[in-house]
Structure 1
């Protein structure tokens, strides 16, 4: 169950990100850590790579907004990063951005068995997801795809 403050933290983070020409990609509040940790993932609205300096700059701006909002009234660590290896692809933009990258596709076949394929992401359209597996194109109906995540080459 998500933390009750998460929706408000997500709204604030999204607003701050948009004023800085970023998009919010993900947010988690890890309360089992001491101090608790707020993990925020961003990307440039333009699609450009996010640098360490970008993360540091955004951390300062978001940190100030969090202090002003008083949403978190105990000690916390703020971690800013960008999506990377191991991240799930979800949006059309993700699938465009990472075309040609190595991915792991989890899907259900016609017998309702779960399968995994590793290959290079080719395309996702309204009907199917296409990946290149060692030179062969595999077309998987979208309604059978459970998840697609980035992997490292040769993984």
Structure 2
């Protein structure tokens, strides 16, 4: 499925998710084995529980039935993004300032493509982190992915 269809699905289901006082974190559409999966990741302060996921799944299913954006059979899964939550939107970076994060880049920066450190901030210039006591700015166009890091 084209990336634009995933964006269409996000736009269609986000209002429903927001009505439930939940946040739409991400939507993935992937093939695993012989089956297709539409995965919807939701969150809220304090985390989501099984009831949140079930309610969101029921509401999202109604929207998807009306929209019918996917021609082949698929399984709908609604869940938490987990403890290593992806950071996708500027608001995610703002919310998790001061937290430990992992960032990967498309090309090496100072010989590295993987960075772990404390999130200082985010702007159109990129992700600013403290890595091993030094401030590092990773250009936005080079950031392949960012996630919360597990702290033990």
User: Deviations along 1:76-97, whole A, 9 cap, x unmatched?
Assistant: 3211123234443232221222
The runs of 4+ residues in structure 1 deviating greater than 6 Å are: none
User: Deviations along 1:37-70, whole A, 9 cap, x unmatched?
Assistant: 21011234xx453222211110111122223444
Question: How many corresponding residue pairs?
Answer: 148
Matched, 1:64 2:62: yes
**Alpha-carbon distance, 1:101 to partner:** 2.6
Relative distance call for 1:143 and 1:99 in structure 2 (3 A) is: closer
Pick aligned residue for 2:51 from 30, 53, 61: 53
User: Deviations along 1:92-151, whole A, 9 cap, x unmatched?
Assistant: 2212222333222335436xx444232232333565602253xx2433254585243222
Pick aligned residue for 1:139 from 116, 127, 136: 136
TM-score (norm 1): 0.69
* SS of 1:18 mapped into structure 2: helix
**Pairwise mapping of residues 64-83 of structure 1 onto structure 2 (< 5 A)?**
64-72=62-70, 75-83=73-81
TM-score (norm 2): 0.70
Runs of 5+ consecutive residues of structure 1 not aligned to the other structure: none
Larger radius of gyration: 1
